Structure 1
């Protein structure tokens, strides 16, 4: 396979004595992001689709009357 233009430029910089740019890459650049998995059927069934509605708050709230 051919070497990309970017890799050729990096190799040339290192040959000329400049700093290798791959040293400054973050640790996340080496992660393999292809290992993501989709949810299982059971996890999909157990997830909540909507947030709980708080329209019926009168039953759960307390009322204080100061006289």
Structure 2
């Protein structure tokens, strides 16, 4: 993999005993600053909008009537 001109220059400066600009970088450069938010109730409901709505106990609200032959 090729080195960029900027990286070559930084390495040259550090070899010559001068200050490496990379050392001045803020520690926040490597952090992910995007906000992480838990889903709202609306987001959660929308996620399951078009799926079969089944509860964990198996009761999905459906029922079955059988008509006995007379």
TM, length-normalised to structure 2: 0.46
Give the structure with the larger helix fraction.
1
Larger-Rg structure:
2
TM-score under structure 1 length normalisation: 0.47
